[in-house]
């Protein structure tokens, strides 16, 4: 690729722009839909007892997720710049303290840390894609399938190979630019993702475990819900909508200034939720048909699911489809985790987008190596309490940095930016929706986030 920055996509403002709103919708959904929906959501539903947890999760999306999502996109769109400058420029415009930019920096740090362990897990899906293509597990019994995953985690070289491949894919796409890279790849990959998911759900409806899975997800039994479950649901509503680190903010900054954001935010949240529920409807019927455990935790997709697939007609085909789906979902999210960091460093240093992407990618790749070694050679290295490096990265970001970022974003949007009538207009939230958004993003969300953070720290 030759120098493609500073082409027509940036002609008017010096800042990139999406081709149109539909494209924005797709890339934002691409960011939201990821390992969080397909890997994490089913297993935390399994660990927290099913229907009641799903209901609480839906409430969190509506009460906290959507208002913060609106705030994030609106801030980015008003500022038309990377998250750090968005905070500082808007703070200046509102005559507020520039320390608000600290929240932008929190997002930049979160980006490095989240992407490093995200890439390791995405690497597992690459390995399973290979396994299903080559049919390596053919004829294995349940024990052998379980051992396969245990052995994968014990092999630093295999983990390193796939982590590197995944990072390289992510960086190569991002390096090509907002339009020529991100937009181009996601406008074809998201439709494929939806088609595969629909096929997988239709397949699952044919299995005898389907009705049990349906009841499991949608019949509410509050006796199974714990306080911990409520907090996990809250934290996950953040992670799954890509909130709290400026990913949605930077995507919003590539929107035209007159774009209304409320409707788009609802559409993103609805699509993301549908995909999570459909992932549950695609996975649990297989698990139940084979009488496997729904509460098996993070290995649900890498032990229980392959086990079920091995026993099903066309299992190899659906295995390939499933892990390919997981890969494109992870890739479109990873690109969005990189983008705030990339746009910040690029705007600050004026280096080329391509060079910056590879530079940041290398740093993330290095941190990721320490995360994958946590499963084997460095399993004795504890960072935070008893947590190994991988768990510490996950913990610090999901429980501390993202809630902190989300807290700052919603307070700043409601109590600073929307206080001034000139900047309030820039947000693009219509008068009829404004009071509800103000209460939900300015009061309800910060309180709820405060509770998550409190729990995360205690
Ligand atoms: N939402 C993605 C998922 O569900 C992950 C993700 C992408 C993310 N961008 C983010 C999480 C920004 C937190 C912050 O897998």
Question: How confident is the model at residue 13, as a pLDDT?
Answer: 52
Read off the tokens for 399.
Answer: 């429980």
Does position 291 have pLDDT exceeding 60, yes or no? Answer: yes
Q: Is the minimum distance from the CB of 340 to ligand 1 under 6 angstroms? A: no
Neighbouring C-alpha atoms within 13 Å toward the C-beta of 240: 32
Compute the mean pLDDT over every residue in the chain, rounded to the nearest whole number: 92
- Ligand 1 centroid to Cα of residue 380, in Å, is 28
The residue to mutate among 112, 336, 338, 397, having the most atoms of ligand 1 within 8 angstroms of its beta carbon, is 336
Does position 4 have pLDDT exceeding 90, yes or no? Answer: no
How confident is the model over 383-408, as a mean pLDDT? 90
Total domain count, the chain? 1
The answer to whether residue 3 sits within a structural domain is: no
Question: How confident is the model at residue 235, as a pLDDT?
Answer: 83
Does position 12 have pLDDT exceeding 60, yes or no? Answer: no
Question: How confident is the model at residue 234, as a pLDDT?
Answer: 85
Atom 6, ligand 1: which residue's CA is nearest? 242
Sign for the CA dihedral angle at 200, 114, 394, 412 comes to negative
Question: How confident is the model at residue 193, as a pLDDT?
Answer: 95
Among residues of the chain, what percentage have pLDDT more than 90?
81
- Ligand 1 centroid to Cα of residue 215, in Å, is 28
How confident is the model over 124-130, as a mean pLDDT? 97
Question: How confident is the model at residue 134, as a pLDDT?
Answer: 97
How confident is the model over 293-320, as a mean pLDDT? 90
- Ligand 1 centroid to Cα of residue 140, in Å, is 34
If pLDDT is split at 50, 70 and 90, which confidence band does 7 have?
Answer: very low
Question: How confident is the model at residue 49, as a pLDDT?
Answer: 87
Question: How confident is the model at residue 364, as a pLDDT?
Answer: 98
Q: Is the minimum distance from the CB of 65 to ligand 1 under 6 angstroms? A: no
Atom 13, ligand 1: which residue's CA is nearest? 242
Does position 242 have pLDDT exceeding 70, yes or no? Answer: yes
Does position 8 have pLDDT exceeding 60, yes or no? Answer: no
The answer to whether residue 232 sits within a structural domain is: yes
- Ligand 1 centroid to Cα of residue 195, in Å, is 22
Does position 455 have pLDDT exceeding 80, yes or no? Answer: no
Distance from C-alpha of 288 to C-alpha of 291, rounded to nearest angstrom? 5
Q: Is the minimum distance from the CB of 235 to ligand 1 under 6 angstroms? A: no
Does position 2 have pLDDT exceeding 60, yes or no? Answer: no
Q: Is the minimum distance from the CB of 341 to ligand 1 under 6 angstroms? A: no
Does position 231 have pLDDT exceeding 70, yes or no? Answer: yes
Q: Is the minimum distance from the CB of 245 to ligand 1 under 6 angstroms? A: yes
How confident is the model over 108-121, as a mean pLDDT? 97
Range of the domain at 258: 8-457
- Ligand 1 centroid to Cα of residue 398, in Å, is 10
Q: Domain holding 418: CATH number?
A: 1.10.4160
Question: How confident is the model at residue 5, as a pLDDT?
Answer: 41
Give the ligand 1 atom nearest the CA of 334. Answer: 7
Question: How confident is the model at residue 450, as a pLDDT?
Answer: 85
How confident is the model over 259-285, as a mean pLDDT? 96
Q: Is the minimum distance from the CB of 31 to ligand 1 under 6 angstroms? A: yes
- Ligand 1 centroid to Cα of residue 242, in Å, is 4
Q: Is the minimum distance from the CB of 240 to ligand 1 under 6 angstroms? A: yes
The answer to whether residue 149 sits within a structural domain is: yes
* Number of neighbouring beta carbons within 10 Å of residue 137: 20
Among residues of the chain, what percentage have pLDDT more than 70?
96
The answer to whether residue 325 sits within a structural domain is: yes
The answer to whether residue 2 sits within a structural domain is: no
Q: Is the minimum distance from the CB of 268 to ligand 1 under 6 angstroms? A: no
How confident is the model over 199-226, as a mean pLDDT? 94
Q: Is the minimum distance from the CB of 345 to ligand 1 under 6 angstroms? A: no
The answer to whether residue 1 sits within a structural domain is: no
Q: Is the minimum distance from the CB of 333 to ligand 1 under 6 angstroms? A: yes
- Ligand 1 centroid to Cα of residue 172, in Å, is 19
How confident is the model over 334-360, as a mean pLDDT? 96
Q: Is the minimum distance from the CB of 398 to ligand 1 under 6 angstroms? A: no
The per-residue b/e assignment along 86-124, b for 16 or more CB within 10 angstroms, e otherwise, is bbbbbbebbebeeebbebbebbbebbbbbbbbbbbbbbb
Q: Is the minimum distance from the CB of 237 to ligand 1 under 6 angstroms? A: no
The answer to whether residue 353 sits within a structural domain is: yes
The residue to mutate among 28, 31, 325, having the most atoms of ligand 1 within 8 angstroms of its beta carbon, is 31
Give the ligand 1 atom nearest the CA of 37. Answer: 4
Distances in Å between the Cα of 73 and the Cα atoms of 55, 58, 230 are 26, 21, 26
Atom 12, ligand 1: which residue's CA is nearest? 242
The answer to whether residue 234 sits within a structural domain is: yes
Give the ligand 1 atom nearest the CA of 110. Answer: 14
If pLDDT is split at 50, 70 and 90, which confidence band does 434 have?
Answer: very high
Q: Is the minimum distance from the CB of 249 to ligand 1 under 6 angstroms? A: no
How confident is the model over 169-182, as a mean pLDDT? 96
Does position 1 have pLDDT exceeding 50, yes or no? Answer: no
Question: How confident is the model at residue 37, as a pLDDT?
Answer: 96
pLDDT tens digits for range 29-68: 999 999 999 999 999 999 998 999 999 999 999 999 999 9
Q: Is the minimum distance from the CB of 32 to ligand 1 under 6 angstroms? A: yes
Q: Is the minimum distance from the CB of 242 to ligand 1 under 6 angstroms? A: yes
- Ligand 1 centroid to Cα of residue 137, in Å, is 31
Q: Is the minimum distance from the CB of 309 to ligand 1 under 6 angstroms? A: no
């Amino acid at each position: 690729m030759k120098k493609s920055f500073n082409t027509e996509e940036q002609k008017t403002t010096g800042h990139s722009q999406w081709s149109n709103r539909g494209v924005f919708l797709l890339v934002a959904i691409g960011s939201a839909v990821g390992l969080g929906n397909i890997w994490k959501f089913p297993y935390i539903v399994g660990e927290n007892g099913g229907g009641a947890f799903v209901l609480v999760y839906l409430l969190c999306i509506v009460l906290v997720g959507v208002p913060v999502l609106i705030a994030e996109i609106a801030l980015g769109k008003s500022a038309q710049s990377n998250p750090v400058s968005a905070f500082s420029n808007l703070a200046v415009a509102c005559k507020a303290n520039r320390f608000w930019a600290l929240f932008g920096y929190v997002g930049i740090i979160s980006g490095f840390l989240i992407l490093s362990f995200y890439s390791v897990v995405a690497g597992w899906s690459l390995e399973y894609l290979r396994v299903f293509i080559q049919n390596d597990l053919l004829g294995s019994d349940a024990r052998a399938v379980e051992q396969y995953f245990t052995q994968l985690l014990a092999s630093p070289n295999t983990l390193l190979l796939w982590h590197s491949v995944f990072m390289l894919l992510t960086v190569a796409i991002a390096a090509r630019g907002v339009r020529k890279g991100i937009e181009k790849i996601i406008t074809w990959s998201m439709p494929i993702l939806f088609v595969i998911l629909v096929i997988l759900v239709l397949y699952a409806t044919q299995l005898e475990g389907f009705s049990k899975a349906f009841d499991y997800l949608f019949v509410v039994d509050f006796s199974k819900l714990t306080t911990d479950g409520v907090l996990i649901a809250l934290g996950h509503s953040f992670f799954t909508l890509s909130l709290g680190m400026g990913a949605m903010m930077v995507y919003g900054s590539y929107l035209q200034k007159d774009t209304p954001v409320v409707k788009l935010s609802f559409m993103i949240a609805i699509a993301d939720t549908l995909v999570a529920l459909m992932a549950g409807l695609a996975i649990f019927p297989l698990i139940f048909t084979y009488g496997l455990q729904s509460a098996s935790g993070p290995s649900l997709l890498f032990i229980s699911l392959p086990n079920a697939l091995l026993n099903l007609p066309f299992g190899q085909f659906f295995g390939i489809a499933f892990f390919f789906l997981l890969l494109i979902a992870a890739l479109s999210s990873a690109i969005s985790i990189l983008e705030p960091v990339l746009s910040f460093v690029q705007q600050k240093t004026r280096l080329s987008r391509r060079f910056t992407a590879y530079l940041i990618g290398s740093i993330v790749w290095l941190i990721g190596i320490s995360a994958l070694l946590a499963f084997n050679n460095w399993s004795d290295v504890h960072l935070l309490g008893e947590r190994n490096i991988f768990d510490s990265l996950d913990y610090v970001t999901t429980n501390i940095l993202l809630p902190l970022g989300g807290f700052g974003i919603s307070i700043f949007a409601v109590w600073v930016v929307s206080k001034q009538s000139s900047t309030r207009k820039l947000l693009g939230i219509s008068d009829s929706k404004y009071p509800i958004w103000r209460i939900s993003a300015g009061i309800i969300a910060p309180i709820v986030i405060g509770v998550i953070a409190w729990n995360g720290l205690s």
